[in-house]
Amino acid sequence: MRPATTNVKTLKIDGRDLSGRQEETILEVARQNGIFIPRLCEMEGLTDVGACRMCLVEIKGQNRLLPACVTAVEEGMEVTTDSERLQNYRRMILELLFTERNHVCSVCVSNGHCEMQMLAQRLGITHVHFPYRYPKEEVDASHDRFVIDHNRCILCTRCVRVCDEIEGAHTWDITGRGIDAQVITDLNEPWGSSETCTGCGKCVHVCPTGALFEKGRSVAEMLKRRQFLPYLTMMREENE
């Protein structure tokens, strides 16, 4: 039960008069009202980290852009979720993500179901303006049922958060810093020999790209079932 004295804030998003509770973020209010704000790291049911910067929005009276996923709504806020400036920023972020590892849609299990691909298509990205890095990343297929292909990982840390917060196993984490950063299982061991992994597959289904997938899936065959997360959160809240 929420406290009776919920503080309601009214604000404008893309010219529409909307309202939200004071603890809600711009992204949540926008989502409830069918306004699309692109994002890669945010996911309903997980804590927000504000890492991908795709959800940056303009707020009237503020020169800098703010990430919608970690910015709480305020009274009288006027938010713009789509403008040329924002599109340029988002396009650059995506282009840099594409150049950082080896994202080859035509051979990817998530082709057609990939969040990054979908956002790139929405923004009309046909090519990138930066040189590709072509790093030699590893593919770990030691797990019975799942594979991690670091070539397709964008380090959104959704897998890390879902494993820690929802499954409670904390098998995943990030090692290193900057360009050397990588997701790892336990003490950087092969996923298959991880003692903490429960094999639940939650990480696979929250992964926005084809970095985590089920074995035996071929190109474009990896459909991710994201519905489990809001459902699980709802059921747990009801049981409390």
Q: Is 138 exposed, middle or buried (0-12, 13-18, 19+ CB in 10 A)?
A: exposed
Q: Give the number of residues written for the chain.
A: 240
Going by the DSSP 8-state scheme, the letter that residue 63 receives in this structure is S
Nearer to another protein, 82 or 164 (CB): 164
Among 174, 198, 225, 236, binds another protein (CB under 8 A): 174
3 state SS of 67? strand
Query: Contact between 172 and another protein (CB under 8 A)?
Result: yes
Give 118's contacts (C-beta < 8 A, 6+ positions apart): none
Going by the DSSP 8-state scheme, the letter that residue 118 receives in this structure is H
Question: How many Å apart are CA 156 and CA 134, to the nearest integer?
Answer: 19
Nearer to another protein, 74 or 173 (CB): 173
86 in Cβ contact with 58 (< 8 Å)? yes
**Least CB distance to another protein at residue 154 (A):** 18
Query: Contact between 198 and another protein (CB under 8 A)?
Result: no
Query: Contact between 164 and another protein (CB under 8 A)?
Result: yes
**Least CB distance to another protein at residue 168 (A):** 10
Nearer to another protein, 109 or 147 (CB): 147
Residue whose structure tokens are 């035996």:
216
Query: Contact between 135 and another protein (CB under 8 A)?
Result: no
**Least CB distance to another protein at residue 218 (A):** 28
**Least CB distance to another protein at residue 182 (A):** 9
Which residues within the stretch 143-162 sit at the binding site for another protein (CB under 8 A)?
A: 160
**Least CB distance to another protein at residue 138 (A):** 8
Among 175, 198, 199, 236, binds another protein (CB under 8 A): 175
Give 189's contacts (C-beta < 8 A, 6+ positions apart): none
Query: Contact between 102 and another protein (CB under 8 A)?
Result: no
Binding residues (CB under 8 A) for another protein: these are: 138, 160, 164, 169-177, 184-188, 196
